[in-house]
Amino acid sequence: METVKKLFTGRIGRGKFFLFELLIVAGGIIVWLTIQVLPPILDIFLLTIFILTGFVLSLGLCVKRIHDIGQSAWWLGLLFIPIIDTGMAIYLLVRKGQNGTNLYGDQP
């Protein structure tokens, strides 16, 4: 339970956010290449595990990033609205975090 709490609390800067999201995408490419040679039942299993894991990890990163900006994680609901989600993703990548300590922790 402590690991889950760590995943969704604290702050993360733009650089680490971008790097970790890029690693999730690279993992997706590796999974996609792997499922090309697996039997159908295994590829569905592997893909499901990756999608669920990738979603939770990405959501945790987004929560930390929005905390770095000084906003509540509820703003991430915008990521589930088509068209607005792209603008929100760009905002998370380019918006500088708050200097010093904020409500969500120390500056990364």
- pLDDT tens, position by position, 33-75: 999 988 888 888 999 999 999 999 999 999 999 999 999 999 9
**Residue 86 placed within a domain:** yes
68, with CB counted inside 10 A (0-12, 13-18, 19+), is: buried
pLDDT > 70: percent of the chain:
99
Q: What is the pTM of this model?
A: 0.88
**Residue 5 placed within a domain:** no
**Residue 30 placed within a domain:** yes
Number of domains in the chain: 1
**Residue 82 placed within a domain:** yes
pLDDT over 90 at 30, yes or no: yes
**Residue 21 placed within a domain:** yes
Whole domain around residue 45: which residue ranges? Answer: 10-94
| Mean pLDDT over each residue of the chain, to the nearest integer | 91
pLDDT band for position 99 (50/70/90)? very high
Question: Which pLDDT score is estimated for 2?
Answer: 77
Please state, in angstroms and rounded to a whole number, the distance separating the CA atoms of residues 108 and 90: 20
